[in-house]
Amino acid sequence: MTARPEDAVAHSRRHQTSGEHDGGAYTASRHHEIALMCDDLDSTVDELRSRGAEFAGDAQEMGFGRGIMLRVPGADDILLYQAHHAAAYTLGDA
pLDDT at 31: 65
pLDDT at 22: 84
| Domain count for the chain | 1
The whole-number average pLDDT for the span 45-50 is 97
Give Cβ neighbours of residue 25 (< 8 Å, ≥ 6 apart).
18, 19
Residue 42 has pLDDT above 50, yes or no: yes
Residue 1 has pLDDT above 50, yes or no: no
Domain that holds residue 55: 5-90
Give the Å distances, CA to CA, from 24 to 20, 55, 78: 5, 28, 27
> pTM score, two decimals?
0.63
CATH number at residue 63: 3.30.720.110
pLDDT at 10: 40
Helix (H) or strand (E) holding 85: none
Q: Where does the pLDDT of residue 27 fall: very low under 50, low under 70, confident under 90, or very high at 90 and above?
A: confident
Count of other CB atoms within 10 angstroms of residue 68: 22
